[in-house]
Structure 1
Amino acid sequence: MVELDAIERSETLGQKVYERVRRAVIGGAFEPGEQVTIRSLARLMQVSPTPAREALNRLAAEGALEFGRNRTLFVPRLQPDRIRELYQIRLPLEDFAARAALPHMGKAHVDALTQCVEQRIVALGQHDYRTALELNRDFSFSIFEAAQQPIALRILEGLWLLAGPMMNLLFPEYADHQLGIERAREQIRAIETRDVEALCQSLRTEREEAAELILTKVGRGEVARSSRPAMGAASRG
């Protein structure tokens, strides 16, 4: 089951539940086709059904969830044309963010990114795909957030919100061959040497490689495989 922290009662529940679930979707914590229920989410985050319902309805409005029969919510399965569209939009925007970020990135950023890669290698070695995807999100958004471009950042979050679940299709290949790790190391070296063109090229290559693998699997009708139960399996509602 997806691990989501309980909400502190001093926080605004509706917004906090929404932000945490949104972040989880961006990080690939939900798989394409997975059912998400109000009751299971409320139980998982230790809140009443009302803030859970509000969060899921907001995510549905953003396209991260879709209503099925009887208004059951599911994580959508993206078709190839929509996957291509997402990557075509992401590439230039991530290029823009990376170029804006580099002047603001220093040793502290490099150290944090390096630690993130090391943790990701450990997760991949343990076949902990969920953690690997979360670390991939953290790595990329550490760069995007350094750009200090809030409008671009919010748009990128929206694009990753749609793309996050299909990132599960990168496995087991990304664990077996550690695909993406070398790209991350390239990006760290580019930041260290202040080489913005190398940084942008590595980001673009990484995205193109991921898109190719995802599209290949979608074309073959493959689905993501996980050892954890779907969120809706334990509680329907």
Structure 2
Amino acid sequence: MPHPIAPQPLPDDHDGWAELAADASAPEKNRRGAFERLTTCIEGVARRVSVRFAGRRREDFCAGVLGDVWEVIGRFPAGANFEAWCYIVLHNRWTDLTRWEQRRESQSLLGHPEPSAPDIRAALERGLDSAAIFGDDDLREIRAWPLRDRVVLLCLASLWRKVPDDEWQGWVRDHRAAHGTPASDPFPPDSLDRGNGIADQNALLARELDLRRNTLSVILHRGKVRLGVLRYVRDLMGPDGGRP
């Protein structure tokens, strides 16, 4: 009688946990559990990056790092050192953050101050009935955003309809392949439009995308700058908000 196959031993270090979290063929529960064991390491690397480049811990950077690393954990190469790999990922994330801050500052110097959240919200409400879609420049800008930011921010801003449908559906499929969410298909569900304001939208997206509320808050914080760069949004804001 053949002997039963012994279960594979679970990893007991950061590198092994990262390999399990990166394994798309592993059960989602196992992947999530392995990733949770990396939390302390990821947060420690984030503090190192923040202190090295800013001289202090920056909460707006550190608050979103777990989501940033989870989004790319599938790319972790087997046999690599997780802490060193994580440092590269978060250094790239830091570079992305400072690039957006520099762009915001240059816009201010050019006489286009950063728009406020209420100004952006009012402009977006004016554009809800518009059939116009994003132009090529705006699409190139949006494609450079992290995948999760694209999906969450465009839903919260009711701008996902401004992306060509085949491209939007491709982003949703990519998100589902990487994270196992969203649950609804098609996404976003009609109930997103029926929510009573940002709080309801946040709650729905947090459930659909299995995100923590603080991760949504970080995406929203970064999103004001990102939305303000788009020509589509600037045009909705009128002459004072438009770019030359």
Higher radius of gyration, 1 or 2:
2
Higher relative CO (Cα under 8 Å, sequence separation at least 6) belongs to 1
Instruction: Normalising by structure 2, report the TM-score.
Output: 0.26
Q: What TM-score results when the alignment is normalised by the length of structure 1?
A: 0.27
